[in-house]
Amino acid sequence: MQCANVKPRWSHASARARHGVRKGRKEDERKLWHRKWLGALRRKAAGRVGATDGRSELPTLVLYEVFVRNHSEEGTFEMVRKDLERIHSMGVDVLWLMPHYPIGKEERKGSLGSPYSIMDYKACEGSLGTLQDFERLANKVHELGMRLMIDIVFNHTSRDSAFVKEHPEWYKRDIFDRPTSPWDDVADFNYEEPAQWDALIDVLKFWVSKGVDGFRCDVASMVPLGFWQKAREEVDKEGNMIWLAESVDSTFLSALRRANQTALCDAELMQVFDLTYDYDLWNLWCAVVAGTEPVHRFLEMLQFQEVYLPAKAVKLRFVENHDQTRIMARAQSKHQAVAWTAFAAFNKGAFLIHAGQEEGMQKATELFEKDPIPWSSRPYQGFLSKLASLKKMKEVTDGELVLISGAPVLVAAWIAPPVHEPSPSGRLQLPKPGGGLLGLFNVGVCDEVPESPDIPLEDGNYHNIIADPQAEDMNTLQVTSGKISVPIRTAVVLHFEGDLTSATPLYSNLLDFQAARSVF
């Protein structure tokens, strides 16, 4: 007999029984959550149709980065202009030119110097061409319906910039009263003088008058937010500009803050900028590519971005740029490189193509010497063009992205808004699911092709929107009993009608799903 005030003894059997009850309830809750989740996604997507904020095109943009010096043997604006038809044919919206200004000579890096060590903000490096050549390039960009973005480097100038001599009070100084910077060939601004702010804003207005439509702002995190706010307020009077911030990675951001230096995070920059770099997750992504972190963890952090960034935040997604290792050199295999490139385009946000990706280049951009891109057959150009076309599909422009799984392949989907069809009888008719895009990306580190994951689609044949450059047999794929008969070598994106048959959103301990359920 058990006394009323004495607790029953704990046993493994009773614990297992209680756990089984809780597990069953949890599974029921998960199923309910899944149904509500799909419904909420469709409602949210429906609310996005016809957005009138004037900036709804930002997540659909495709940018193309060019270093004029090394884009051709000649290394001129004119040769870039002659390549614009090809670039435009890839689905590019914005041509981004790396710095095109005269380069400092004092403490110059290499024989030609870094383009980020600038002597004169209102001139062009002579070897690239004249200001008139620049304007001809801008005019051609506009004729093709694209926009022109230039690099703005307002954290520092070259050490022999006229500003250093004329306005020494604008610069940070060391203990010997010399202009200082972590980099030998430049001197850092201090942003303490209103006259400096006005002078730099005048630079922006100057380039707008020459046909520039946007600015990629170098190390924007290290420039005071107040300056960027004032600059945008003044410059946007000249036109509807695109503002891209090179935000910094979390390790660098932490180091800057420990040193008590200006260090703006993405959320702060997004008060001003339309787009920010995807560097907040860069170090983690690099570890995933190397195989030292699981894909699931990266997807969790992508979900978490939706929480810690502003609701309308737009990221610039990429797998390489002029500061980073080429994806063909970083990835463990070509198939992994192709798969990650495809996911970068499929992911929510704008998409960057770095000149030379068309060739599958492995060599990183050489900033200090002449090193032209060895253009030849461009085997990946068609593939990149198809990735660019994804950004304009209605499932992406109007839909909502959901991350489903990280293994054995990365699985994600775009859910389109529901379709409202008139009823012949005039009766109330429920909207039909609008279909979507299902993406499967073989981002694993080994060369072995994994077995087909569970495919949440009805049996049938599906068109693969992106053509694998190394697998012509992947254009049409058959789904049978939730499996694809042909192994996924790199990546596929399938268009589907109706709804997904069964798909549970990626579960993350970083998010409070109890709170999420209460929203619905």
Dihedral angle over CA of 124, 127, 130, 136, nearest 10: -100
What is the structure's pLDDT at 501?
85
CATH code, 58-392: 3.20.20.80
| Cα-based torsion angle of the residue sequence 211, 213, 217, 218 in order, rounded to the nearest 10 degrees | -50
Q: What is the C-alpha separation between 469 and 377, in angstroms, rounded?
A: 13
Domain limits, CATH 3.20.20.80, in the chain? 58-392
Dist CA 510 CA 513 (whole Å): 9
pLDDT score of 129: 98
What per-residue confidence (pLDDT) applies to 5?
A: 37
Question: Any idea what DSSP says for residue 464?
Answer: B
Coil, strand or helix at 447:
coil
The Cα 253–Cα 249 span in angstroms is: 6
Say which residue the tokens 């569970």 belong to: 454
pLDDT in tens, the chain (520 residues): 333 333 333 344 444 444 454 445 545 544 454 444 444 444 444 443 322 244 789 999 999 999 999 999 999 999 999 999 999 999 999 999 999 999 999 999 999 999 999 999 999 999 999 999 999 999 999 999 999 999 999 999 999 999 999 999 999 987 556 666 667 899 999 999 999 999 999 999 999 999 999 999 999 999 999 999 999 999 999 888 999 999 999 999 999 999 999 999 999 999 999 999 999 999 999 999 999 999 999 999 999 998 889 988 999 999 999 999 999 999 999 999 999 999 999 999 999 999 999 999 999 999 999 999 999 999 999 999 999 999 999 999 999 999 999 988 999 999 998 877 776 666 666 778 889 999 999 998 877 777 788 899 999 999 999 976 555 667 888 999 989 877 888 899 999 998 898 767 776 666 655 544 444 4
How many whole angstroms separate alpha carbon 79 and alpha carbon 66? 11
Question: Around Cβ 420, how many Cβ atoms within 10 Å?
Answer: 11
The predicted structure's pLDDT at residue 325: 97
Q: For helices 282-290 and 295-308, what crossing angle results, to 10°? A: 170
The pLDDT assigned to 427 comes to 67
Query: How many CA atoms does the CB half-sphere of 279 hold within 13 Å?
Result: 24
Task: Return the HEC string of 305-359.
Answer: HHHHCCCCCCEEECCCCCCCCCHHHHCCCHHHHHHHHHHHHHCCCEEEEECCHHH
Q: What is the pLDDT of residue 272?
A: 96
- Note whether 358 and 384 are within 8 A (CB): yes
3-class SS at 170? helix
Identify residue 122 by its one-letter amino acid code.
K
CA dihedral over 180, 186, 190, 193, signed as positive or negative: positive
441, 61, 87, 474: CA torsion to nearest 10:
20
